[in-house]
């Protein structure tokens, strides 16, 4: 049952009525400097300090009924740590690995078409995107200045290490007014690419194979199926920040309310740089 915060806020404020379904742009690219963000070297240095403090990175979690399950519920090729956690969730969701899948997760592509959802009520589960609205204190200690570079509340975010020969499953993420994601490469090699291929439910189409460069930040329409993969020849892990933010809502004590950007189209918020307070 869809009883998560995102669904409730949509029902209360009719957010979908304000969303422009047909997009002018499905893919955006900026330098970190253009957005007023720290350099990739600075971010990587802070990332390594986080890893040292939390103990280590961990693999993506899944249940033994997951289509990708190969005898282990934790991936050896796709690892990392979570930026945000859910303080009202279970032990895993309160950990520094909260957004790296879940031990009960049995589906990759999209929660909407999961034929056998692992949770009867989505609230405060892995599927509750807005439940991930608290930055883990250890991560906040090192990433606070970076997160302040976007004038929005962070949500389900992570830093991921993709190892040579890994091929991610095709998948979809939330509609853009629910969450916008910034993909920021810190370490990479030419054989690691992003693939986007398809058409979303609103008729927006994109086919793209692209190597994402260190020193840049990328955003795209995540309702079009996409994945990352090593095309062959990589010798070291690819390390990327995947930072997600809530475009139209903010916390109001224990409740939620529309923020000052409510109704502004997410891609326009990015292109105009209105949400980047330190952008030159």
Which residues have CB under 8 Å from 48's CB, separation 6+? none
Contact between 70 and 167 under an 8 Å Cβ cutoff? The reply is no
Residue 27 lies in a domain: yes
Q: Is residue 145 in some structural domain?
A: yes
In a domain, 276, yes or no: no
In-domain check, residue 20: yes
Q: What is the pLDDT of residues 196-243, one digit of tens each?
A: 999 999 999 999 999 999 999 999 999 999 999 999 999 999 999 999
Check residue 113 and give its pLDDT. Answer: 76
End-to-end CA distance of the chain: 44
Asked, for residue 95, whether it belongs to a domain, the answer is: yes
Q: Tell me the pTM.
A: 0.95
Tell me, yes or no, whether 28 lies in a domain.
yes
DSSP class of 152: S
pLDDT tier for residue 71 given thresholds of 50, 70 and 90: low
Whether residue 280 is contained in a domain is answered as no
**Considering its fold, how many domains does the chain have in total?**
1
pLDDT digit string (tens) for 103-113?
998 877 677 77
Asked if the structure places residue 63 within a domain, the reply is: yes
- 6's enclosing H/E stretch is helix 5-13
Domain that holds residue 31: 5-271
Residue 1 has pLDDT above 50, yes or no: no
The domain that holds 86 is classified in CATH as: 2.60.120
Strand residue runs (E) in the chain? 27-31, 58-61, 74-82, 84-85, 134-135, 153-154, 158-162, 180-187, 192-199, 205-210, 216-220, 226-230, 238-246, 249-252, 255-258
């Amino acid at each position: 049952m869809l009883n998560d915060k995102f669904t409730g806020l949509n029902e209360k404020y009719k957010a979908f009525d304000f969303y422009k379904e047909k997009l002018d742009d499905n893919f955006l690219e900026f330098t970190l400097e253009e957005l007023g963000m720290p350099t990739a070297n600075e971010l990587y240095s802070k990332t390594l300090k986080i890893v040292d403090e939390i103990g280590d990175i961990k693999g993506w979690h899944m249940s033994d009924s997951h289509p990708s399950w190969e005898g282990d519920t934790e991936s050896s090729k796709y690892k990392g740590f979570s930026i945000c956690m859910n303080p009202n969730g279970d032990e895993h969701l309160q950990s520094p690995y909260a957004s790296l899948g879940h031990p009960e997760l049995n589906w990759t592509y999209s929660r909407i078409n999961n034929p056998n959802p692992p949770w009867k009520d989505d609230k405060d589960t892995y599927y509750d995107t807005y439940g991930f609205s608290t930055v883990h204190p250890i991560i906040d200690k090192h990433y606070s200045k970076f997160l302040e570079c976007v004038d929005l509340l962070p949500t389900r975010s992570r830093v991921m290490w993709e190892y040579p020969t890994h091929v991610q499953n095709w998948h979809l993420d939330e509609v853009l007014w629910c969450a916008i994601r910034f993909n920021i490469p810190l370490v990479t090699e030419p054989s690691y690419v992003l693939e986007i291929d398809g058409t979303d439910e609103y008729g927006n189409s994109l086919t793209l194979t692209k190597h994402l460069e260190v020193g840049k930040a990328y955003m795209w329409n995540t309702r079009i199926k996409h994945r990352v993969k090593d095309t062959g020849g990589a010798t070291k892990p690819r390390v990327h920040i995947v930072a997600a933010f809530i475009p139209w809502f903010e916390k109001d004590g224990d409740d939620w309310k529309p923020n000052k950007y409510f109704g502004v189209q997410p891609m326009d918020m990015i292109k105009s740089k209105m949400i980047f307070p330190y952008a030159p």
